[in-house]
Amino acid sequence: MTDQRQRELAENLTAVRSRLDVACRAAGRDPAEVELVVVTKTYPAADVVRLAALGVTDVGENRDQEAAGKAAEVAKLGARLRWHFVGQLQRNKCRSVVRYADLVHSVDSVRLATALAVAAAEGRDRPLDTLVQVSLDGDASRGGAVAGHAQPDVALDRVLATVWDPDRAFEQLATIAARVRADYPGATVLSAGMSSDVEQAIQHGATHVRLGSAVLGNRASLM
């Protein structure tokens, strides 16, 4: 029997998928090129199982201490999904993360890449996909590898404006991604865009978009 929560999620998913479809067509892209990752942090395993029943294949988490147990519980309940780790990752968490995550979005140093490779070799029976997190503003506290030379005007803009213009940020990211693909043709994934700016991300070539509240509603505060 479908419960009220499942009906709510179904309605939200229909609206989100329609939004993605419109954004793709406005950008002249095939909607099949864009993968929806539903960010399920702070939501229970029961919601993840509901999402799987509604056709969601990819979910994202940003805190290992929450994600590890949730992934195990979801697996026990019989749902099979592709788990994305989207938060900043400490090297001492690599052994845990590689046991459930299929794609890590936040590799920002050689040391972290090496730690993940070692952990994956010891704790997985299949390859681990990873993405390099790019820093557009050079702020190390926010994570991300700095691309090319520092750009003082970008840092200045971040000080002068409370919020970056998403269109400008995604345009810069698209330029970086094109340069990377020229040297590494296999680097075809561009993960960018959230509930508030997904249209701009798709316009500039995002292949994976991470939406949470648009699907699951407002999150409870973390304790």
CA-to-CA distance for 147 and 47, rounded, in angstroms? Answer: 37
109, exposed or middle or buried, with CB in 10 Å at 0-12, 13-18, 19+? middle
Residue 221: its pLDDT value, please? 45
Residue 157: its pLDDT value, please? 43
**In the chain, what are the domains?**
4-214 (3.20.20.10)
- Cβ distance 211 to 194 under 8 Å? yes
pLDDT in tens, the chain (223 residues): 469 999 999 999 999 999 999 999 999 999 999 999 999 999 999 999 999 999 999 999 999 999 999 999 999 999 999 999 999 999 999 999 999 999 999 898 899 999 999 999 999 998 899 998 887 655 555 555 455 544 444 343 443 344 567 888 888 889 888 988 999 999 999 999 898 899 999 999 999 999 999 999 986 544 3
Residue 109: its pLDDT value, please? 87
Residue 154: its pLDDT value, please? 39
- Cβ distance 91 to 110 under 8 Å? no
Residue 65: its pLDDT value, please? 96
